[in-house]
């Protein structure tokens, strides 16, 4: 089973074109573009490493450990059923020992995938809600979202690195001949990382909406995921992860924003607003002939 057609390829290509425009704009200022391909090469290598080892990096950051079916029978039962429904191999299952309620999936393809739940989410959700969350996470794997996230993160990192290099090394010989050079250099230093963050955020938000829809189609129960998202929004606010680099580097993988999400942090969150996600799921339930106001009356795929 694959994801629903959301024109993902076209939307993602457009966002990557914007990334290249920002990057080439930087390259036109620093050294006349002569160092641009050095950064591009490093970025490609970083993307390959991050993509190939994405499951290890995320699991290590969350101190997660593999669990057996005896330890987590509900997780195994749900994931086995959904994997069979999607005609995909069953991923490895992990639990992270943290009270912050969240979940994520990672891995470069369905054959090398892992799904991780925190102890916080396992204690917060009932089995039906957990099924909705796990369906969402499995669709991230089936839709190859890890690849998209890895490439977007690499581009964003490259753009930020080039902007910082411009600041420390003066922006190349061309900027000295241009009276606006120093101003352009400072503008790009501050604006380029923001642009990269916004584009990465847009990619991640698009994929979250798609995983919500595809996951609800897989489980046949959009209201269960909507109820889970409500609980996760309040639960993550009460027990956020500390905003440290090891968590920030994997935050886009989580089903809910793991940080407190106030002020500028909320503005630049890689996750779409929870109210919008819940509204879409409730509309989906109404279209399928189920009430969207509560979590009553489950249904499954035939």
**Distance separating alpha carbons of residues 220 and 198, to the nearest angstrom:** 32
| Beta-bridge mates of residue 105 | 115
> Residue 30 corresponds to which tokens in the numbers above?
């620093």
Residues 6 or more apart from 48 whose CB is under 8 A from it?
none
| Beta-bridge mates of residue 93 | 115
Is there a contact between 281 and 226 (Cβ–Cβ < 8 Å)? yes
Could you give the 3-state DSSP secondary structure of residue 69?
Answer: coil
HSE (side-chain half, CA atoms, 13 Å) at 270: 24
**Distance separating alpha carbons of residues 82 and 74, to the nearest angstrom:** 12
**Distance separating alpha carbons of residues 235 and 248, to the nearest angstrom:** 18
> Residue 62 corresponds to which tokens in the numbers above?
């969350």
Which is catalytic among the residues 81, 127, 137, 244? 137
**Distance separating alpha carbons of residues 25 and 174, to the nearest angstrom:** 13
137 is catalytic: yes
Residues 6 or more apart from 260 whose CB is under 8 A from it?
237, 240, 243
Q: Which residue has the tokens 């189609």?
A: 217
* Neighbour-count burial for 59-78, b at 16+ CB within 10 Å, e otherwise: bebbebeebeeeebebbbeb
Strand order in the sheet with 65-66: 65-66, 92-96, 114-118, 103-106
**Distance separating alpha carbons of residues 286 and 140, to the nearest angstrom:** 24
Would you name the residues annotated as active-site residues?
137
């Amino acid at each position: 089973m694959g994801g629903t057609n959301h024109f993902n390829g076209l939307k993602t290509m457009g966002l990557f074109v914007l990334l290249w425009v920002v990057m080439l704009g930087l390259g036109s200022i620093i050294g006349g573009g002569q160092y641009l391909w050095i950064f591009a090469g490093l970025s490609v290598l970083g993307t390959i490493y991050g993509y190939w080892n994405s499951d290890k990096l995320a699991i290590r950051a969350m101190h997660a450990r593999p669990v057996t079916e005896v330890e987590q029978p509900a997780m195994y039962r749900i994931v086995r059923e959904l994997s069979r429904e999607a005609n995909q191999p069953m991923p490895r299952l992990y639990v992270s020992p943290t009270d912050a309620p969240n979940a994520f999936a990672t891995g470069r393809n369905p054959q090398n995938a892992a799904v991780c739940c925190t102890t916080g989410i396992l204690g917060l959700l009932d089995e039906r809600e957990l099924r909705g969350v796990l369906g969402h996470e499995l669709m991230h794997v089936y839709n190859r979202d890890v690849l998209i996230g890895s490439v977007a993160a690499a581009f964003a990192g490259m753009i930020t690195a080039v902007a910082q290099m411009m600041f420390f090394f003066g922006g190349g010989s061309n900027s000295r001949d241009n009276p606006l050079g120093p101003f352009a250099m400072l503008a790009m230093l501050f604006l380029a990382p923001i642009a990269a963050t916004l584009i990465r955020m847009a990619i991640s938000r698009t994929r979250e909406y798609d995983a919500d829809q595809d996951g609800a189609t897989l489980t046949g129960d959009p209201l269960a995921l909507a109820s889970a998202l409500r609980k996760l929004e309040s639960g993550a606010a009460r027990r956020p992860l500390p905003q440290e680099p090891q968590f920030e580097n994997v935050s886009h993988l989580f089903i809910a924003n793991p940080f407190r999400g106030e002020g500028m942090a909320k503005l630049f969150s890689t996750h779409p607003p929870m109210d919008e996600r819940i509204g879409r799921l409730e509309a989906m339930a109404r279209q399928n002939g189920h009430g969207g106001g509560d979590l009553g009356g489950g249904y499954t795929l035939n």
